A and B are shown apart, each in its own frame.
Chain A
C-alpha cells in the first residue's frame, strides 16, 4: 500500500492512485476476458493455418507449394498486385495533393466518392465490372467484336483488385499531407522551385512514411482479395486463378493440407504486413521526435537575436 502512496507523491502522472486503479481481481478478470476473446477469435485461426499446413510433414508442405498450379497462382497474384499498387499509388499522390493543397468547390463530394469502394461489398465490386464489360454489359459486345476479353480474364482481375484497394493509399497519404501542412512548400515556391521540384524535394520526404504505410496495406489487400476477384475470374486453372481462389479450389477438392499450405503463404504475408506496419509506425514516431526539437530551438532563437542587436 505504501508503495502506491509514494508513487502518488512522486507525481509521475503515469501511476494512478488507489481511487483510480481497479482492484486486482477486477483487473485479472478483465485481462482474462480480453485475452481469451482475442485468442479464441483471432489467435486460433492463425495457428490452425500453420498447424494444418504441416500436418503431413514438411515434404508434403513443399510439394503443395511446388505444384505448377500453385506457382501460376503465385505469379498471377504478384502480377495483379504489381499493377494495382503502383496505379493506386500514383492516383493516391495526385488526389492527396489536389485535396490538401487547394480549395475548390466539391471537395467534400470528391473525398466521399473516393471512399465509396470501402462501402461496397467485394462481390458488388466484381458485379459492376461484369455489368460493364460482361457479354451483355455496356462495352461487352464491342469488346467481343475486337476480340478483347476482360471478364473471366486477367484484365478483369486487375480492375476488380484496383477497385477494392482504391481508397487505401489516398486515405493514408491525405491524412499525412493534411497534418504536415504546406508551409515548407510555400517557402520553396518563393525561393523559385518548380512544382515538380517542390513535390520531389519537399513533399515526398515529408510524407514518405504515410506513403509506405498506404502501400503496405494496399499490397496486402491486393494480394488477398477474394470476393471481387472470384466474381470476375471464371476460375480457370493456371490462367485466372489467384492465390486466394486457388485456396478455394483446393479446399473444395478436400485437399485440405494443400489448401492450408497455400494459405500459409498468405498468412505469412499478413504477418509480414503487420510487422512492417509496426516498423513504419515506430520509424515515423522516432523521426518526428527530433523534428520537433529544431522548432523549439527556432522559437527560442528570436530573443537572443534581438538581444544581440
Chain B
C-alpha cells in the first residue's frame, strides 16, 4: 500500500496536516457561504442576486473588467514583444515595472490613481479640459482595473515568445511572407493561447477587485458601484442574505473564467502533442 503511494515517510502527517489546515481556513468558511446561499431558498436568492442595483453592479464590474482585460491583452502582447525581442536603454527597468501591480498594495494604487486622475491631478487636469472625466466616473474604474491587470498577459506571453522556434519565422520569410504577414499567420497563432490565459486571469482578478477601485470610482449606486463594493455596503447594513447571493454570482463567474483557462490550456497541450 505504502509502496504504491511512494516510499518516503511522512505521508500521513503531511497530508493530514494539509487537509486539516485547508479545512479550517478555506473549506469551512466557503461552506458557510454555500450553506447561507442554499438556506435562502431559490426565490429569495434570485430576488437578492438579480435586483436592479445588483444587476447594474454586475454590468459595471463584468463590462469594465472585460474592457480592461482586452486593453491589457492588446498592450500586453506589444510589451511582451518589445521586452523579449528588442534591446534598449531602460529595458530592465520596464521589465521590473511590469510586476509592480502585483506588489503594490491595492489601497496605495487606489489613492495614487485617484490623485492622478482628479481635476487637479497630472492627467486628470488635461483630460478634464478635453471634457473627459476619469475619476469618480466609470472610466476611472476602467483605469484602475487596467492597472491591476497589467502583469497577467505580459507574464503569460513572455515565456512563450522566448521559447518560440526562430526557424518557423525563417521558413515564413523564405517562403516570401513579409514581417506583418509572418506575425499574423505564424507568431500570433502561437501566442494566442497564452494571450487568452492572461486575458482570463486579468478578467477574473478584475471582477473581484476592490481596493484600487473604491477610491477612484465615487461609489454612486447604479452608476459607479461595482459588485464587490455592493457586497460591502450590504454587509454594513447587516443584509447578509443579499451580500451572500451577490458573492455567489461573482464566485461562479470567476470560477467559470478559470475553468475556461484550463480548457484553453488543455486544448493547446493536445494540439501540441498532435
Chain A interfacial positions (CB closer than 8 Å to B) = 16, 19-20, 22-23, 26-27, 30-31, 33-35, 37-38, 40-46, 48-49, 52, 87, 90-91, 94-95, 97-99, 101-104, 110, 113-114, 116-117, 119-124, 127-132, 134, 136-138, 159, 162-163, 166, 182, 185-186, 189, 194-195, 198-199, 217, 220, 223-227, 230-231, 243-245, 247-248, 251, 256, 259-260, 263, 266-267, 269-271, 273-274, 277-278
Contacts and interface: CB of A to CB of B under 8 A. Distances in A.
A27 B87 CA distance: 10
Given A122-B211, A273-B103, 6 more contacts: A38-B94, A52-B115, A116-B26, A124-B247, A226-B110, A244-B107
B162 interface: no
5 contacts: A16-B166, A34-B78, A52-B112, A130-B240, A260-B115
Interface residues of B, number: 92
Contacts of B83: 34
Considering the complex of A and B, which 3 residue pairs feature the smallest CB-CB distances, nearest first?
A: A224-B105, A121-B208, A195-B9
B90 to A, nearest CB: 7
A274 B110 CA distance: 19
Contacts, number: 285
A42 B98 contact: yes
A79 B136 CA distance: 34
B227 to A, nearest CB: 8
Nearest to B208: A121
Contacts of A91: 17-18, 21-22
A31 B82 CA distance: 6
A224 B108 contact: yes
B208 A124 contact: yes
Interface of B: 4-11, 13-15, 17-19, 21-22, 25-30, 32-33, 36, 75, 78-79, 81-83, 85-86, 88, 90, 94, 96-116, 121-123, 143, 146-147, 150, 166, 169-170, 173-174, 179, 204, 207-211, 215, 227-229, 231-232, 235, 240, 243-244, 247, 250-251, 254-255, 258
B10 A97 contact: yes
Nearest to B77: A34
A131 B150 contact: no
Contacts of A137: 32
A27 B228 CA distance: 41
A127 B231 contact: yes
A119 B254 contact: yes
A115 B260 CA distance: 15
Contact of B244 (A41, A46, A127, A226): A127
A42 B100 CA distance: 7
Given A22-B179, A122-B210, A274-B100, A113 B26 contact: yes
A65 B69 CA distance: 36
Contacts of A124: 33, 208, 228, 231, 247, 250-251
A252 B64 CA distance: 25
Given A103-B4, A260-B111, A278 B96 contact: yes
Given A22-B179, A116-B30, A266 B75 contact: no
B19 to A, nearest CB: 8
A87 B25 CA distance: 11
Contacts of B15: 98, 102, 104
B228 A123 contact: yes
A245 B210 CA distance: 13
B139 to A, nearest CB: 13
B76 to A, nearest CB: 9
Contacts of B28: 132
Contacts of A34: 75, 78-79, 81-83, 94
